[in-house]
Amino acid sequence: MAQEVFLSNVDLNEAVKIYFNKLLCIKGEKENVVTWESVGRVSYSPIFAKISSPFYNSSAMDGIATLSTKTYGATDRSHIELQEGIDYLVVDTGDPIPKEFDCVIMVEDLINLDKGKVSIYKSAAPFQNIRPIGEDIVKTQLIIPSNYMIRPVDIGSIIAGGVNDIDVYKRPVVGIIPTGTEMVEPGGELKVGDIIEFNSRVFSAQVSEWGGIPLRFDIVKDDYSLIKEAVKKAVQQCDIILINAGSSAGREDFTCKVIEELGEVCVHGIAIKPGKPVILGSIDGKPVVGIPGFPVSAYVVMDNICKKIVQAYIGINNEEYTTVEVVLTRRVMSTLKYLEFVRVKIGFVSGKYIATPIGRGAGTTMSLVRADGILEIPQNIEGYEVGTVVNVKLLRSKEEIKNTLVCIGSHDPIVDIASDLFHIKNGKYFLSSAHVGSMGGIMALIGSETHIAPIHLLNMENGSYNISYLKKYLPNKPMVLIKGVKRIQGIIVPKGNPLNIKCLQDIVIKGRRFVNRQRGSGTRLFLDYNLKKLHINPQNISGYEREEFTHIAVAAVVAAGDADCGLGIYSAAKLLGLDFIKLGDEDYDFAVPKEFIDMDMIREFIKVIKTDEFKGELDKLGGYDYAHIGEIIEL
Amino acid sequence: MAQEVFLSNVDLNEAVKIYFNKLLCIKGEKENVVTWESVGRVSYSPIFAKISSPFYNSSAMDGIATLSTKTYGATDRSHIELQEGIDYLVVDTGDPIPKEFDCVIMVEDLINLDKGKVSIYKSAAPFQNIRPIGEDIVKTQLIIPSNYMIRPVDIGSIIAGGVNDIDVYKRPVVGIIPTGTEMVEPGGELKVGDIIEFNSRVFSAQVSEWGGIPLRFDIVKDDYSLIKEAVKKAVQQCDIILINAGSSAGREDFTCKVIEELGEVCVHGIAIKPGKPVILGSIDGKPVVGIPGFPVSAYVVMDNICKKIVQAYIGINNEEYTTVEVVLTRRVMSTLKYLEFVRVKIGFVSGKYIATPIGRGAGTTMSLVRADGILEIPQNIEGYEVGTVVNVKLLRSKEEIKNTLVCIGSHDPIVDIASDLFHIKNGKYFLSSAHVGSMGGIMALIGSETHIAPIHLLNMENGSYNISYLKKYLPNKPMVLIKGVKRIQGIIVPKGNPLNIKCLQDIVIKGRRFVNRQRGSGTRLFLDYNLKKLHINPQNISGYEREEFTHIAVAAVVAAGDADCGLGIYSAAKLLGLDFIKLGDEDYDFAVPKEFIDMDMIREFIKVIKTDEFKGELDKLGGYDYAHIGEIIEL
């Protein structure tokens, strides 16, 4: 059995403070780069102009440069004639002003005579129409301060100020060592027990974004000496070392011991969730971090600790992120032991930002992909009730969130296609969908958490779809139903239908493993309705209590041989190359509160689902009848 | 004289629409890249999972995998014994579950017996403690939609879903041709009339940021055939061509004619300011843009037009930027002819965002460096009165603006040093300074536009400094004076003092060119006070009406030989290696409204100016007495 080693439970900020003190002053080194290759780099020292810009007086207009005293006395009634070469020089905008002249008269104020003469009818003041030395930048002026990240526009001023190379912070080399005997590189043959190694690739990309230079090492197996050798090599070549996986206190976790042997461990175990078993150590004065293996744990550690380390090397020592106030749509429980990082999806519905927590598991990479924000729940808080207003750290911009159509309810592959096409056709807009089943969609409508709810809810009494549910559960909210598709429901079985399943009765046979959909899903209702008609007791179905959340998930379980049959739609079976026994049709429609029907995003959505392009995709999927798609039914 | 060629005055959005229609569908090409090198690239098509993740059932805990039916009946009173190998297998978190077992009992719920036996006291449910197939990603699931910019976290999910290479938009090659006979490369000997070419470097950096590949060509002189040859070459090698300078309708502007000869001009002249003389054309179906030479004009064209073109090639067709509501501190006039882009500095003072326009000139690169935002004034608006609330497009984040200490008033090189040190010591904070002279600082205090106002205002009656002005102009606003430095004021003359100037009387001598400071500046007051004492009539000073805005600007003019003398502080003369005749001392202090004195930023500022490090910098500059620096005087 795994040994239980005691981990500390230090507060996150405390731990970082202790650690940074231990590492003494991480002050990056400098290097000199050519100015026009310095975008994105951070200035090591302030940049002062070496010359003025412009560095000579020049003309601000097209006209003539002359001496102001020669023009005194010129009026409408008493013109003054000037001779080219003697009294003036023709100048274009930007031309230098000769020392003998001190002003410019613009071409519109001149009367051309012949033989290089002009006539003026008003006097000119000294320095009029002249762009003076230093109008933009004055020699010795501060152009760019220290610890400043250079942007494209800054380059223009720096060059104009005569500075062609600047000192910037050298980028730290960050070694990344993936460990784990079960880890395999992507691209090879996969066998059960393998875990594809991808954390190191995410870390490499993050390090680059933060301004470091990632150096990824090959996967090291769970062997003490191998890991030790890899770490020693990394310490030689890198400024910062990140070791991934094996940082919990289990039987195959050597990271902590290796760091202790080669250097020292400052902190092992921080009160964060996920991410607790992180190790903060140092070898030869260089930071060495043991990052937990689970992807979300790794993300929390990278984002809250490693980023600070990398950026300290390049003169950036402030955390800058945008937050937004949101209303929670769900109660969120949290342990008092840890600071928890909860991923949330954020919608902007009826003028409010609303947030729904997603996937708490430390292994769900998709929760990071889909997250719009992170809710940090402090240690001393047990959780928040539904409806609480909290501050959330944004991962997408407010503008993007405001331009996102929220779609919560029953999943179907056509929603993904609609979402993709919707964004391609309307670059500005996004469609964000959450798969919680049809009743979940109804609940979201009741709670004003969504713009669209895809549903397929069967009225068990009369066999009709959707409308009766909307009338029953939303009697006081004017609703509209956008017609979607008729789709085929049935039994999904392995390719070749080895058990020769022909109807629902066949799934009751002993030993046959069924995989179900969750309560509240339209598919579950469809199943229960049909079981009732056939007088089949659900308890007799082995696996009736085993629940998956989408059609594809059901199909995947059958495809993997983990179940003999499940209920789902034709397109899911077809996608995974499985066989299918049709049981009936059902209506899959989109419920929309009437107040939203004139929103530009909704109108664009309806447009998209009515296009030939979209219908073509439905044909490819198979099993869809879109004869009435996009029609609007007012309830 | 320059010829006047008629430019159109098309509305910006109209022009872009016409142009994009002309260019037909700019649809980028695709290329295939390895997944872990795709960060920052935009997906060409949706990315679906090829495998589930996990792709086998695994243990969610450390414990034993067993068959649930073997555990039925186990209770506290009636334990069940299980035999390793026959009844169970020891598993760690993540280990695969053999087909013959269907649940996991965690180690904490086991009693170890000897000889590979364990005892359990509660039954296990099917699938308990198992991490099922597809818990994170289900085969065929949509991971990433089309036209989506890949982030580090996305890479993890894509690899986990078995997708090791993806189709992304190919980056367009953008040719950049700088033109102009007066243009010189940075780094060479400069002679009067030269203009250092830097726009192309800014464009290159912008193109890279937007996702294109810049290809910069050498500077081409103002010669029709040379420019034509360069453009032809660029059209062969690039997808998009940007030609800089010479896009107005003057005598040396060939860009338009070249594009007309090789292809066609779609729009010449757009109703924007700055940026009007832009050319939108095409050659061989490729976009060719003639960008005006003035840096700010170029910036407006790049940001509002070229960016859209580059991004259309990579599937991004939405403009996303953050705006903020601000109160204008100045009246802003605008012409009805153009959509104007006014750079503004934004401060967050007393809970409000306030904005002040800066540098309207099209040649002021520093206005782009210093700008916090852009105020777009539509064509049909003549301007805004002071106090109007307007929407401004942000160039810095709200967080950064909120963490910025606003400092408006009299300039001194010590403010730049304080600003630099302030940010180095407090990574989160910034100090933003505007140089409007001492009276400008007083006005800013009255208008609640600033946190700090550096002033050195001489009371002409009793020779005291600053306090009487604060009492006079801010009688109802509790103020505090943070003591700064005593500094030396005097006459700045060229090195060697060729005209042997010894006192103020010497500047009145005929032919001696003086350069003054602006009205309202403390230095001007000092001058006027001393002139009065000596009974010198300002009208007798040649150049008395010639105004510069900072000490350094005055010194620069003298250093360039453009004036024989000016009034300013010792450190400015020393910085530029000039000679100096002392006239007296003055108090340069920092006025702060009392309500701000407990702000964390103000306290940090005071800390910084009292450090030995800061005082050391003052010693290097010379001419400063900091005996009382940082002391707080309540008025």
Each residue's pLDDT tens digit, B513-529: 999 998 888 899 899 99
Count CB atoms within 10 A of the CB of residue B628: 14
Is position B142 within any domain?
yes
Cross-chain Cβ contact A186/B209 below 8 Å: no
| A279-283: strand order across its sheet | A213-216, A173-178, A240-244, A286-291, A279-283, A264-268
- Residue B147 touches partner A, C-beta closer than 8 Å: yes
What is the per-residue DSSP string for A414-439? HHHHHHHHHHHHSTT-EEEEEE-HHH
For chain A, the farthest-separated pair of C-alpha atoms sits apart, in whole angstroms, at: 117
Is position B431 within any domain?
no
**Domains held by chain B: number:** 5
CA–CA gap between residue A623 and residue A570 (Å, rounded):
6
Say yes or no: A201 and A307 in one domain. Answer: yes
State the DSSP code for B97. P
Cross-chain Cβ contact B560/A320 below 8 Å: no
Choose among B36, B153, B317: nearest Cβ to A299. Answer: B153
Q: How confident is the model at residue A321 (pLDDT cuts 50, 70, 90)?
A: confident
Binding-face residues of A in 557-576 toward B, CB within 8 A: 557, 559-560, 562, 575-576
Q: How confident is the model at residue A5 (pLDDT cuts 50, 70, 90)?
A: low
Closest B-chain CA to A116: B1
CA–CA gap between residue A182 and residue A23 (Å, rounded):
33
Across B366-500, where does the E strand assignment appear? 373-377, 383-384, 389-394, 404-409, 430-435, 453-455, 479-493
User: Is the pLDDT reported for residue A318 higher than 80?
Assistant: no
State the DSSP code for B613. H
In this structure, what CATH number is given to the domain that contains residue B388? Answer: 2.40.340.10
Is position B562 within any domain?
yes
Cross-chain Cβ contact B364/A52 below 8 Å: no
CA–CA gap between residue B457 and residue B467 (Å, rounded):
9
CA–CA gap between residue B238 and residue B218 (Å, rounded):
15
Say yes or no: B533 and B486 in one domain. Answer: yes
User: Is the pLDDT reported for residue A245 higher than 70?
Assistant: yes
- B chain contacts of residue A317, beta-carbon cutoff 8 Å: 427
Q: What is the mean pLDDT of residues A446-469?
A: 93
* CB contact at 8 A, B15 and B23: no
Is position B141 within any domain?
yes
* CB contact at 8 A, B260 and B282: no
CA–CA gap between residue A13 and residue A20 (Å, rounded):
11
Each residue's pLDDT tens digit, A542-588: 889 889 988 989 999 999 888 999 999 999 999 899 999 999 999 99
In this structure, what CATH number is given to the domain that contains residue A542? Answer: 3.40.190.290
What's the confidence (pLDDT) of residue B251? 46
User: Is the pLDDT reported for residue A300 higher than 80?
Assistant: yes
State the DSSP code for A270. B
Say yes or no: B269 and B338 in one domain. Answer: no
In this structure, what CATH number is given to the domain that contains residue B177? Answer: 3.40.980.10
Cross-chain Cβ contact A138/B39 below 8 Å: no
What's the confidence (pLDDT) of residue A254? 86
Choose among A107, A133, A153: nearest Cβ to B202. Answer: A153
Of A425, A383, A459, residue with least CA distance to A609: A425
- A chain contacts of residue B62, beta-carbon cutoff 8 Å: 1-2, 250
Closest A-chain CA to B145: A420
In this structure, what CATH number is given to the domain that contains residue B124? Answer: 2.170.190.11
Tell me which long-range contacts A498-504 makes (C-beta under 8 A, separation of at least 24): A499/A564, A499/A565, A501/A564, A501/A565, A501/A581, A502/A581, A503/A581, A504/A530, A504/A531, A504/A534, A504/A536, A504/A583
Please confirm whether the linkage preceding A178 is cis (ω < 30° from 0): no
Q: What are phi and psi of A362, to 5 degrees?
A: -75, -10
Is position A120 within any domain?
yes
Binding-face residues of B in 401-460 toward A, CB within 8 A: 403, 413, 416, 419-420, 423-424, 427-428
Each residue's pLDDT tens digit, A191-230: 999 999 999 999 999 999 999 999 999 999 989 999 999 9
In this structure, what CATH number is given to the domain that contains residue B164? Answer: 3.90.105.10
Say yes or no: A465 and A582 in one domain. Answer: yes
CA–CA gap between residue A456 and residue A524 (Å, rounded):
10
CA–CA gap between residue B442 and residue B456 (Å, rounded):
11
ipTM of the complex: 0.90
Closest A-chain CA to B47: A420
- B chain contacts of residue A208, beta-carbon cutoff 8 Å: 39
Say yes or no: A158 and A214 in one domain. Answer: no
Residues in Cβ contact with B457 at an 8 Å cutoff, skipping those fewer than 6 apart = B438, B439, B442, B465, B466, B469, B522, B525
CA atoms within 13 A on the CB side of A243: 36
What's the confidence (pLDDT) of residue A251? 45
Cross-chain Cβ contact A320/B144 below 8 Å: no
Is position B398 within any domain?
no
Cross-chain Cβ contact B201/A155 below 8 Å: yes
* CB contact at 8 A, B285 and B262: no
Across A103-256, where does the E strand assignment appear? 103-106, 110-112, 117-120, 130-131, 142-144, 165-169, 173-178, 183-184, 195-196, 213-216, 240-244
CA–CA gap between residue A371 and residue A400 (Å, rounded):
13
Among candidate residues A266, A293, A313, the one where a domain is terminated: A313
Tokens at A336, concatenated: 């008092």
Residues of chain B below pLDDT 70: 1-6, 24-25, 246-253
What's the confidence (pLDDT) of residue A215? 98
Determine which of A299-308, A519-528, B583-592 has the lowest per-residue pLDDT on average: A519-528
Binding-face residues of B in 244-263 toward A, CB within 8 A: 250-252
Among candidate residues B270, B289, B313, the one where a domain is terminated: B313
Strand partners, A450: none
- B chain contacts of residue A136, beta-carbon cutoff 8 Å: 361, 363-366
CA distance B454 to chain A (A): 18
**Going by DSSP bridges, is the β-strand pair B63-66/B88-91 parallel, antiparallel, or unpaired?**
antiparallel
Of B344, B394, B380, B390, residue with least CA distance to B11: B380
What's the confidence (pLDDT) of residue A3? 43
User: Is the pLDDT reported for residue A467 higher than 70?
Assistant: yes
Tell me if residue A559 falls in helix, strand or coil: helix
Say yes or no: B192 and B272 in one domain. Answer: yes
Dihedral class, residue B37 (left if φ above 0, else alpha if ψ from -120 to 50, else beta): alpha
What's the confidence (pLDDT) of residue B427? 86
Is position B407 within any domain?
no
Say yes or no: B66 and B101 in one domain. Answer: yes
CA–CA gap between residue A181 and residue B205 (Å, rounded):
44
Q: Could you tell me where the DSSP H helices lie in B217-360?
A: 224-237, 255-262, 295-301, 307-312
What's the confidence (pLDDT) of residue B307? 96
Among candidate residues A370, A392, A414, the one where a domain is terminated: A392
Residues in Cβ contact with B455 at an 8 Å cutoff, skipping those fewer than 6 apart = B409, B410, B438, B441, B442, B466, B469, B522, B588, B589, B590, B591
Cross-chain Cβ contact B152/A209 below 8 Å: yes
What's the confidence (pLDDT) of residue A249? 47
Tokens at A362, concatenated: 């430390």
Say yes or no: B197 and B285 in one domain. Answer: yes
Say yes or no: B97 and B201 in one domain. Answer: no
**What residue numbers bound the domain in which A96 lies?**
58-131
The enclosing H or E element of A570 equals: helix A570-575
What's the confidence (pLDDT) of residue B610? 97
- Residue B556 touches partner A, C-beta closer than 8 Å: yes
Q: Which of A163, A365, A372 to mutate to test the interface with B (most CBs of B within 10 A)?
A: A365
Say yes or no: A460 and A570 in one domain. Answer: yes
Percent of chain A with pLDDT over 70: 97
Is position A218 within any domain?
yes
Closest A-chain CA to B412: A141
User: Is the pLDDT reported for residue A611 higher than 60?
Assistant: yes
Say yes or no: B446 and B533 in one domain. Answer: yes
Each residue's pLDDT tens digit, A102-147: 899 998 899 988 888 999 999 998 889 999 899 999 998 899 999 9
What's the confidence (pLDDT) of residue B280? 96
Say yes or no: B223 and B277 in one domain. Answer: yes
Of A605, A616, A619, A612, residue with least CA distance to A422: A605
CA-to-CA dists, residue A313 to A29, A240, A287, A300, A447, angstroms: 8, 10, 11, 20, 47
Q: What are phi and psi of B290, to 5 degrees?
A: -95, 110
